[in-house]
């Protein structure tokens, strides 16, 4: 399972804190009942992605993180 504790701590300290009224229950429901059949494999693959410090990050129009440094294998 994914631990969202750090995320909840971060949003508790800013203008997103109102999400703590509904989000934990929604995520718990998702973790129990709505995960895709291959979620575990997908999650494991994400764990092995390289960490980058993007110089440009776009989460509004797509999920895009660009880095000036090439990714290593």
Taking only the tens place, the pLDDT of each residue in 14-31 is 999 999 999 999 998 888
Which pTM was predicted?
A: 0.54
pLDDT at 73: 58
Say what the alpha-carbon torsion angle 28, 32, 34, 39 is, to the nearest 10 degrees.
Answer: 100
**Continuous segment of H or E residues that includes residue 39:** helix 39-47
Say how far apart CA 41 and CA 35 lie, in whole Å.
12
35-49 confidence digits (pLDDT tens) = 777 888 888 898 888
Asked if the model's pLDDT at residue 72 lies above 80, the reply is: no
Say how far apart CA 73 and CA 66 lie, in whole Å.
17
pLDDT at 66: 85
Indicate the domain borders of the chain: 5-66
Buried b / exposed e over 1-22, threshold 16 CB at 10 Å, is eeeeeeeeeeeeeeeeeeeeee
């Amino acid at each position: 399972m994914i631990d969202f504790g750090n995320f909840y701590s971060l949003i508790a300290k800013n203008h997103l804190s109102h999400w703590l009224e509904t989000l934990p229950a929604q995520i718990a429901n998702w973790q129990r009942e709505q995960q895709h059949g291959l979620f575990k494999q997908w999650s494991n693959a994400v764990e092995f992605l390289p960490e980058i410090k993007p110089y440009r990050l776009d989460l509004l129009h797509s999920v895009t993180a660009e880095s000036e440094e090439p990714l290593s294998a």
